[in-house]
Amino acid sequence: MKILFHNDFHQVYTSDPAAAAGRMQSILNVISEDYEFLEPTPANEEDIIAIHTLPHVDYVKRIGLYNISSLAAGGAIQAAFIGLKEPCFALIRPPGHHASAERSWGFCYFNNMAIALERLKREKAINRAFVLDIDLHFGDGTVNIFREKDYVTIFNVSSHNRETYLKAVEQGLKEQQSDIIGISAGFDNHKDDWGGLLETQDYTTIGKMVRETCETKRCGCFAILEGGYNHQVLGYNVAALLQGMA
């Protein structure tokens, strides 16, 4: 299984928790020996403005976050293309699922998932896509962007009961029909993170459900990092998801 990662993602680019020092290292400490790492290249502006308005792109440039944000988007694009053939994970930041076409919040600037799927669609690599968003917070940006595009189905998992949560994932995957499944992989719903709900092994279960769905329905899959802020458990949760996917 391939991992997209760049050393620039170590930098503390803002004061928000998604940019905290040591966040990426906490993941690398757990998974670095087990997977093949590839270095992403930035998304070009054509990829970005296919999703975001020019005023929003200019805003990200003005605040000095264009380079790191376009690099994250580029990692998502490369992970998506690899995902057509084998499971892949984009270990990227800033995250993206709170970024709409013309605005962003929640530590996000460009919508990595949307940029990646739109690139696949533009190149006729897919007809349909399914987004499984397992972050604690609703991925409003992804929903806003794809609201008027009929080729993407988005499932934001929401439950305050662990068993019901996993059943919802299972049912959502069972109903989907797509060429690729993109996981907006937030880990902040872990019992030791902000959400306080899921066990580490639940991420393995989710990854396995995605993999089995892809095997049954002959579709690809990839995942991109969103939330997850407890560095003591984040790496183990990422590793658990990758184990299920692989």
**For this structure, is 160 an active site residue?**
no
User: In whole angstroms, what is the distance from residue 11 CA to residue 22 CA?
Assistant: 9
Distance between start and end Cα atoms, the chain: 6
> Which two three-digit tokens encode residue 171?
């049912």
The pairing of strands 36-38 and 129-133 is unpaired
3-class secondary structure, 98: coil
The pairing of strands 36-38 and 180-185 is unpaired
Distance (Å) of CA 68 to CA 51, 73, 95, 163: 17, 9, 11, 37
Q: Which among 233, 171, 176 is positioned nearest to 206, based on CA atoms?
A: 171
3-class secondary structure, 229: coil
> Which two three-digit tokens encode residue 157?
């998992």
User: In whole angstroms, what is the distance from residue 72 CA to residue 56 CA?
Assistant: 16
Query: Residues 6, 52, 56, 98: which is the catalytic one?
Result: 98
Contacts of 104 (CB under 8 A, 6+ apart): 56, 60, 98, 110, 111, 141
Q: Which residues are catalytic?
A: 98
